[in-house]
Amino acid sequence: MKRQEAMQKASELLNQMTVEEKVAQMIQVPYTTVSHRGALRWAELGAGSFLHVLGDNARELQRTALKTRLGIPVIFGIDAIHGHGLNPHATIFPSQLAAACSWNPDIVRKMGEVTACEVATDGLHWTFSPVLCLGRDTRWGRVDETFGEDPMLAGELGAAIVRGYQGDDLDDDEHILACAKHYLAYGEAVGARDACDSEVTERKIREVFLPPFEKAVKAGCATIMTAYGSIDGLPLTINHRILHDILRDELGFNGFVVTDWDNARSLVTRQFVKETIEDAAVAAAQAGNDMIMTSLEYYDAMLNALKCGQADISTVDEAVLHILTIKYEMGLFDRPEKKGRSGCIGCEAHLNASLDAARSTITLLKNDGMLPLSDEIRTVAVIGPAADDIRAQYGDWTYFSHPNADKHAHPERPYVTLKEGIEAVGQRHKVQVLYAEGCSHIEQSTDDLVNACEIAKNADAIIYAVGDMIDQIGESKDRANLSLSGRQDELFEALLTLGKPICTVLIASKPLCIVKEAEGSNAVICAFNGGMFGGQAIAEAVFGELNPSGHLPISFPRHSGQVPVYYNYLPGWHNGNYCDLPASPLFAFGEGLSYTSFELSGLSCDSESLTVHLHVQNTGNRQGSTVVQIYQHDLVSSVLTPVKRLIAFERVTLEAGSGTDLVIPLHRDDFALVNTACQTVVEPGSFDILAGLSSKDEDLLRTTILL
């Protein structure tokens, strides 16, 4: 249904509703924390949404809702973060961070389309994705859920997955609602401590954290989720300027806003800015929250506040109008249950999409010629705690790794761990595969470094898989120490004494401090959380069936004390180094190697048309893909501006020995800054245009334009 018609129908329905029915629409009920009978009572009251309910239970709740006086359908929400992960038969994709290594909006959009189709086939309507926070402090537990550290890249990929989830029309049976989260600056909390205060100014918000959400709004994102934390001591839940003035009045957002888990009650119990739940309820609604996730006390509190004159019904009316408009746009009053596509959950086409995504994420960070493995390698030892741990490979937000899930649930096939991938692909190459875990992610009495080394002695090459585990990943799992945990470093040092070529593979939720492995290994592959077929994709790269083409969306620190170490820092640091560490990251934003080589030349930029011209040549002996990255630097500005800032990128695939001329259009807004009055302006002056295959200075060509 078109927007204007949906708003008209929503307004007409709103005029028929009682106060109780209106307030009930603002409530989202957490199915996992109430009994089924309790959920039915909420459906009878007319609750607007339910969270984490599947199958026949959801259908019964919907039937109950449709039998109420006005028959307003329920929206069912689910944490489908990288696939419809709470369904054990669904397709599991790489994490957002892993997918961001593709620098490919088409891959990310396809992830959204497949996920939406599978969620819709379960009869559900809404996913709480994408995360548009930035992973600028890698101690934060939720870095894996981000698209990395850069606002431009996160915005492009975020907009792509929103379009994948929602399609061209919200009432399409194979698409669902997206929810951009967590609004705003959630990942910038002090000390990377989840849900703490983010000590940022409005100018910094507009410069760094708002742009990805602006792109999501322009892509039509139907819902926005409020962040847990606070900015300058004011909880986002009650920040009217952020939630209303900026989001609605400036960005033009016209969907509905939902709080994060229990945010309303937390104003009283965790953040201590409100004395009573009634105070919290009124403040949350007045600030611009339309739907209240899981704070069930809100219902009675808001009714009491309305009765005693503490709140005005117009505040409730505005919120409910936003919710009902989306329900009409989705066509829920005609078709309350999404139909999806019969048989699509975990179907072959969707599994192939997951494999394609995994292949696109493989990022080669070092290679002295070890990879791809030569025909002389007849025996490979696969060693390490991440080699055969599907939970580590999947990451969080799945049916056995969700905060509300059974952590001991049995993983369902199909999936391919790294060990299994090396065995399967190795068989095609007539290579024998040996295996030993050696140690766990956390030191245990079962660790057996000696046996692992004995096994590795019999191999021609070693694939060493390191990383983190599910207990170290996700919400409330912030880390102070980013070094490899347990005895992983110790095992590497022992393997190094064998004198065998070693390829280290990182299967992890975030960049970890792998200095020893980076310096001592012959090759390094970053795979992050690759989903169902991450192990197969890595194996294909190891044996040369896949030419790696990923580029890092995030920088790797050398040491925990070096973070944050993002590429687009502000200038002015005296000496530009720590006294005990270089300023540069271990691996930089944008880095990524290939089994071929590329050369850029002929960079120019026309100041009038703002068009970049340059030539890309494949100078190697096989086909390959790379990502050409365009950065700008404002040479003199009224406020500090980053030493470089990504403004465009383009993926290029070339045959061996071939080249192409690129023409990349830029926009005047690419050169804007946010001044001290929080105005976005383009100041006249000189700008450097930089082009390269990573953000490292030594990898960049440079030209200057005058605006």
Task: Give the number of C-alpha atoms closer than 13 A to the C-alpha of residue 245, restricted to the C-beta side.
Answer: 7
Nearest to 563 by CA among 547, 544, 546, 585: 585
Alpha-carbon gap, residue 565 to 557, rounded angstroms: 6
Segment (H or E) for 312: none
- Site of tokens 């406020």: 639
Q: Please give the CATH architecture assigned to the domain spanning 362-562.
A: 3-Layer(aba) Sandwich (3.40)
User: 534-542 vs 348-361: helix axis angle to the nearest 10?
Assistant: 50
Structure tokens at 222: 């139907």
pLDDT score, position 403? 81
pLDDT digits (tens, 9 = 90+) for 56-86: 999 999 999 999 999 999 999 999 999 999 9
pLDDT above 70: percentage of residues in the chain: 100
Which CATH architecture best describes the domain 598-706?
A: Sandwich (2.60)
The pTM of the whole model exceeds 0.95? yes
Write the pLDDT tens digit of every residue in 135-176: 999 999 999 999 999 999 999 999 999 999 999 999 999 999
CATH of domain 3-329: 3.20.20.300
Q: Are 618 and 656 in contact (CB under 8 A)?
A: yes
In angstroms, rounded to a whole number, what is the distance separating the alpha carbons of residues 328 and 9?
A: 7
If you search the block for the tokens 């830029």, which residue do you land on? 666
Neighbour tally for 394: CB within 10 Å: 28
Distance set, CA 57 to CA 84, 213, 476 (Å): 17, 34, 30
Largest CA distance in the chain: 82
Cα 646 to Cα 457: distance, rounded to the nearest angstrom? 45
φ/ψ region of 416 (left if φ > 0, alpha if ψ in -120 to 50, else beta) reads beta
What is the distance between the terminal CA atoms of the chain, rounded to a whole angstrom?
45
CATH 3.40.50.1700 domain locations along the chain: 362-562
What are the DSSP calls for 221-239, one per residue? --EEEE-SSEETTEEGGG-
Q: Do residues 549 and 541 make contact, with C-beta atoms less than 8 angstroms apart?
A: no
3-state secondary structure of 691: strand
> What is the amino acid identity at position 364?
L
Per-residue model confidence (pLDDT) at position 3: 93
Nearest partner of 177 among 226, 237, 112, judged by Cα: 112
195-225: per-residue pLDDT in tens? 999 999 999 999 999 999 999 999 999 999 9
Count each helix (H run) and each strand (E run) in the chain, helices first: 21, 26
Which class for 257: exposed (0-12), middle (13-18), buried (19 or more C-beta within 10 A)? buried
pLDDT at 428: 97
Look at residue 409 in the predicted model and tell me its pLDDT. Answer: 86
User: In terms of C-beta density within 10 A (0-12 exposed, 13-18 middle, 19 or more buried), how is residue 622 classed?
Assistant: middle
Which residues partner with 506 through β-bridges?
466, 526
Other C-beta atoms lying within 10 Å of the C-beta of residue 681: 12
Q: Which residues of the chain have pLDDT under 70?
A: none
Q: What residues contact residue 348 under an 8 Å CB cut-off, 6+ apart?
A: none
> DSSP secondary structure string, 477-492?
---S--BPPTTHHHHH
The token duo for 309 is 């004159």
